[in-house]
C-alpha cells in the first residue's frame, strides 16, 4: 500500500496535466480557428466593398455628407493638433541644432519631419481616434437596433449605403486633413522659432521649403490615402460586425480605434520601407 | 367604420385561398451555436390570410420571420416565398422578392439619423423608383394619416414616444404596398386604445390591399382581432395550429396559459 500510494499520486498528476494540456490545445486551436475565420471575414468584407464601390447605384448624397462630416468637422481638432505638433517639434529640436551650430537648418528640418512623418502619422492617429471610433459606434448601434437589417429588407445593401460612402470619404478626406495639418504645423513651427529669433512667416516658409524636395512630398501623400482607407475600413468593419446587445457598441468603437491605430503604424512602416527601396 | 361599406360578413370580405400558399416552409431548422432555436418547422401562409404566431419569449418567433426574408440563413429546410426558394436565391433575386415583403421590426428599427419623412422616403425611393417627388410626398402623407401621426413629419425618431415610433415603423413597413407583411409584435408597448387601432389598421390593410400577413404577438386582444388562423411555437416546434375557437375551447395547459 505504502509503495502504491505515491505511484497513484503520480498517475493522478500525470493525468491531470495531460487533461490540462489537451484542454489548452483545444483552446488554442479554437483561438486559431477564430483568427482564421476573422481573416476570412475581413477579406470578404473588403471584396464586397470593392464590388459595391463599382456598382452603378452610388449613394452620392451620403458620400458628400460623409466628406463634410469627416473633413470639415475634424478641422478644429486638426488645427489645434497640427499647430502644437510644429510648435513642440521646433522647441525640442532647437537646442540640438544649436549644439551643432546648425540653427539655420531648423525650418527645413522641421518641415521635412512634418511632411514625411509627423503630419501624416499623427493626423492619421488622431483621425483613427475620432473617425474610426465614430464609425464603429454609429454602425454598431445601427446593427444592434436592427437598422442595418431594416436597410437590407428595403433592398438597399447596407454595404452600399453605409460602408462605401464612409470608406471613400475617409480615403479622400484624410489626405486633405494631413496637408492642412502640415501647413499648420509649419505655422506652429514658425511660432516656436519666433520665441527665440525673429523671422517673418514668408521667410520661414521659404526657408522651410527650400529643403523640401518633390521626393518628400509624393510618397507622404500617397501613404495618407492608405491611412484613410484603413481608418474607414476598420471603423465600418468593426461597427458592421458588432454583436448583439448594447455593450457590443462600446466594444466595436473601442476595438476600431485600437486596430485602426495599429494598422496606421504598420502601413506607415511598410510605406517607409517601400520608399526607402525605391529612392535609394 | 362599418357604415361606409355594404354590410358583408367578414368571410366574404377576405378571400383566403387555401390552395395557394404564398409562403411555404418545410422542415426549417436553425441553430445558433449549440442552441437549437427552430426544429423542423413546416408551415404555410395562404394567400390573403392573417396568420398569428404565438409563443413564449425566446421561442424563436423573430428568428422564424427573419429566416423568411433571408436576414438569417437557415441550417436546413426550404422556404418558398411566391414559389421562389429564398434559401437558394442570389442577392439580386432576393432583393426582388423583398420588394414585395413588408417587415415590421420588433424594435422598430427607425433610422436614428433621419427625420420621420426621410425614414419613410428611404424604401420609397429605392423600391418605387418610378414615383415622382409629388407622388412620394402624397404617399407619405397618406400613410402617416393611416397611422394617425400626421404632424410627426419633420421629427427625429429620438423625439418620438415609444408608441409613436412603433406606428412610424408600421408606416414605413406598409408604405411600399407589400403583398406580404410580417409584423413582429405590432402592439407591444402600446396602450389598449392604440393597440385596437393598430389591429383595425392591420385588418383594413388586409382587406384593402389583399395582403397576406404573419403577425407575431403576445397580445391576445390583437390576436383575436386579426387572426384567421393561429399557430403556437413551443421549444422550437409548432405546438398547435388552428383558428381562435379551437384555441379558446382547448383544454391543453400550455394553450390555456395564453388564453386566460
Ligand atoms: N443572431 C442571433 N445570434 C445568436 N442567438 C440568437 C440570435 N437571434 C436570436 N437568437 C436566440 O434565439 C432565441 C430565439 O430568439 P427570438 O428573437 O426569435 O425570440 P422571440 O420568440 O422573438 O422572443 P420575443 O418574444 O422575446 O421577441 C433566443 O434564445 C435568442 O437568444
Ligand atoms: Mg421577437
- When comparing pLDDT for A22 and A160, which is higher? A160
Our answer on whether the CB atom of B63 is closer than 6 Å to any ligand 1 atom is yes
- When comparing pLDDT for A36 and B199, which is higher? B199
Nearest Cα residue to atom 17 of ligand 1: B62
Mean pLDDT for B44-52 is 91
How many whole angstroms from B144 Cα to the centroid of ligand 2? Answer: 25
- The per-residue pLDDT for range B71-116, each reduced to its tens digit, is 999 999 999 999 889 888 888 888 889 989 999 999 889 999 999 9
Residue A280's pLDDT band, with cuts at 50, 70 and 90, is low
pLDDT at A10: 73
Q: Are strands B50-55 and B212-216 parallel, antiparallel or unpaired?
A: parallel
Mean pLDDT for B45-62 is 91
Q: Mutation test of the interface with chain A: which of B35, B81, B95, choosing the one with the most A Cβ atoms within 10 A?
A: B95
Least CA distance to B69: which residue of chain A? A153
Q: How far apart are CA B260 and CA B249, in angstroms?
A: 11
User: Looking at the CA of A245, which ligand is closest?
Assistant: 1
Q: Mutation test of the interface with chain B: which of A154, A159, A239, choosing the one with the most B Cβ atoms within 10 A?
A: A154
Q: Is the pLDDT of residue B139 over 50?
A: yes
User: For chain B, how many residues are written?
Assistant: 260
Counting residues of chain A whose pLDDT is more than 90, the rounded percentage is 54
Our answer on whether the CB atom of B59 is closer than 6 Å to any ligand 1 atom is yes
pLDDT at A207: 84
Smallest Cα distance from B223 to chain A, Å: 25
Q: Is the pLDDT of residue B8 over 70?
A: no
Task: Give pTM, 2 decimals.
Answer: 0.84
Q: Which of B36, B57, B63 to mutate to test the pocket of ligand 1 (most atoms within 8 A of CB)?
A: B63
Q: Which of B41, B57, B60 to mutate to test the pocket of ligand 1 (most atoms within 8 A of CB)?
A: B60
CA atoms within 13 A on the CB side of B185: 17
Mean pLDDT for B151-158 is 91
Residue A98's pLDDT band, with cuts at 50, 70 and 90, is confident
pLDDT at B126: 85
Our answer on whether the CB atom of B36 is closer than 6 Å to any ligand 1 atom is no
How many whole angstroms from B95 Cα to the centroid of ligand 2? Answer: 23
Whether B109 contacts A146, CB under 8 Å:
yes
Give Cα A10 to chain centroid, integer Å: 53
Residue B4's pLDDT band, with cuts at 50, 70 and 90, is very low
pLDDT at A38: 78
pLDDT at A90: 92
Interfacial A residues in 125-154 facing B (CB < 8 Å): 138, 141-142, 145-147, 149-154
Smallest Cα distance from A144 to chain B, Å: 9
Our answer on whether the CB atom of B32 is closer than 6 Å to any ligand 1 atom is yes
Whether A239 contacts A142, CB under 8 Å:
yes
Q: Is the pLDDT of residue B200 over 70?
A: yes
Residue A155's pLDDT band, with cuts at 50, 70 and 90, is confident
How many whole angstroms from A184 Cα to the centroid of ligand 1? Answer: 53
Smallest Cα distance from A107 to chain B, Å: 46
Q: How far apart are CA B98 and CA A223, in angstroms?
A: 42
Burial of B89 (0-12, 13-18, 19+ CB in 10 A): middle
In the three-class reduction of DSSP (H, G, I as helix; E, B as strand; rest coil), residue A45 is classed as helix
Q: Is the pLDDT of residue B3 over 60?
A: no
User: Looking at the CA of B31, which ligand is closest?
Assistant: 1
- The per-residue pLDDT for range B243-260, each reduced to its tens digit, is 888 888 888 888 888 877
Q: Which of A14-23, A125-134, B179-188 is predicted with the least confidence, judged by mean pLDDT?
A: A14-23
Counting residues of chain B whose pLDDT is more than 70, the rounded percentage is 95
Our answer on whether the CB atom of B55 is closer than 6 Å to any ligand 1 atom is yes
Domain boundaries, chain A: 1-54, 58-277
The mean pLDDT value of chain B amounts to 87
Q: How far apart are CA B160 and CA A260, in angstroms?
A: 36
pLDDT at B5: 43
pLDDT at A22: 67
Task: Give the count of beta carbons closer than 10 Å to the beta carbon of residue A231.
Answer: 34
Amino acid at each position: 500500500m505504502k509503495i502504491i500510494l505515491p505511484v497513484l499520486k503520480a498517475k493522478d498528476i500525470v493525468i491531470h496535466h495531460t487533461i490540462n494540456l489537451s484542454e489548452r490545445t483545444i483552446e488554442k486551436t479554437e483561438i486559431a480557428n477564430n483568427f482564421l475565420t476573422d481573416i476570412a471575414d475581413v477579406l470578404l468584407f473588403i471584396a464586397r466593398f470593392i464590388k459595391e464601390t463599382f456598382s452603378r447605384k452610388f449613394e452620392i448624397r451620403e458620400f458628400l455628407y460623409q466628406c463634410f462630416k469627416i473633413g470639415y468637422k475634424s478641422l478644429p481638432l486638426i488645427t489645434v493638433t497640427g499647430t502644437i505638433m510644429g510648435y513642440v517639434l521646433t522647441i525640442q529640436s532647437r537646442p540640438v541644432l544649436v549644439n551643432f551650430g546648425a540653427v539655420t537648418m531648423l525650418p527645413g528640418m522641421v518641415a521635412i519631419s512634418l511632411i514625411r512623418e509627423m503630419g501624416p502619422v499623427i493626423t492619421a492617429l488622431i483621425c483613427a481616434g475620432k473617425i474610426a471610433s465614430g464609425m464603429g459606434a454609429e454602425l454598431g448601434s445601427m446593427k444592434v437596433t436592427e437598422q442595418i437589417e431594416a436597410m437590407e429588407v428595403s433592398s438597399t445593401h447596407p454595404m452600399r449605403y453605409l460602408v462605401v460612402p464612409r470608406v471613400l470619404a475617409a480615403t479622400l478626406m484624410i489626405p486633405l486633413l494631413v496637408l492642412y495639418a502640415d501647413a499648420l504645423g509649419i505655422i506652429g513651427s514658425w511660432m516656436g522659432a519666433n520665441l527665440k529669433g525673429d523671422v517673418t512667416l514668408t521667410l520661414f516658409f521659404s526657408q522651410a521649403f527650400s529643403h523640401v524636395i518633390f521626393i518628400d512630398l509624393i510618397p507622404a501623400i500617397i501613404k495618407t490615402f492608405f491611412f484613410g482607407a484603413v481608418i474607414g475600413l476598420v471603423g465600418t468593419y468593426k461597427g458592421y460586425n458588432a454583436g448583439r446587445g448594447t455593450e457590443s457598441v462600446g466594444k466595436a468603437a473601442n476595438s476600431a480605434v485600437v486596430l485602426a491605430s495599429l494598422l496606421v503604424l504598420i502601413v506607415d512602416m511598410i510605406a517607409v520601407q517601400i520608399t526607402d527601396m525605391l529612392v535609394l | 367604420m362599418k357604415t361606409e361599406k355594404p354590410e358583408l360578413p367578414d368571410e366574404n370580405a377576405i378571400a383566403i385561398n387555401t390552395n395557394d400558399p404564398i409562403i411555404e416552409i418545410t422542415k426549417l431548422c436553425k441553430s445558433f451555436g449549440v442552441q437549437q432555436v427552430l426544429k423542423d418547422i413546416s408551415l404555410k401562409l395562404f394567400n390573403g390570410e392573417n396568420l398569428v404566431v404565438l409563443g413564449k419569449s425566446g421561442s424563436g418567433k423573430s428568428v422564424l420571420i427573419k429566416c423568411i426574408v433571408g436576414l438569417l440563413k437557415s441550417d436546413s429546410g426550404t422556404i418558398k416565398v411566391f414559389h421562389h426558394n429564398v434559401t437558394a436565391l442570389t442577392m439580386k433575386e432576393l432583393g426582388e422578392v423583398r420588394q414585395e415583403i413588408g417587415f415590421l421590426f420588433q424594435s422598430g428599427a427607425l433610422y436614428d439619423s433621419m427625420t420621420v419623412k426621410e425614414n419613410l422616403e428611404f424604401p420609397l425611393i429605392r423600391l418605387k423608383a418610378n414615383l415622382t417627388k409629388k407622388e412620394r410626398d402624397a404617399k407619405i402623407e397618406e400613410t402617416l394619416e393611416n397611422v394617425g401621426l400626421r404632424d410627426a413629419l419633420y421629427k427625429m425618431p429620438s423625439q418620438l414616444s415609444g408608441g409613436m415610433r412603433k406606428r412610424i415603423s408600421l408606416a414605413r413597413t406598409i408604405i411600399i404596398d407589400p403583398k406580404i407583411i410580417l409584423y413582429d409584435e405590432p402592439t407591444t408597448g402600446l396602450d389598449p386604445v392604440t393597440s385596437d387601432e393598430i389591429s383595425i389598421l392591420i385588418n383594413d390593410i388586409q382587406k384593402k390591399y389583399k395582403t397576406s400577413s404573419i403577425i407575431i404577438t403576445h397580445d391576445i386582444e390583437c390576436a383575436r382581432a386579426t387572426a384567421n388562423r393561429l399557430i403556437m411555437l413551443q421549444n422550437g416546434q409548432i405546438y398547435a395550429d388552428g383558428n381562435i375557437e379551437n384555441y379558446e375551447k382547448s383544454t391543453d395547459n400550455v394553450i390555456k396559459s395564453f388564453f386566460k
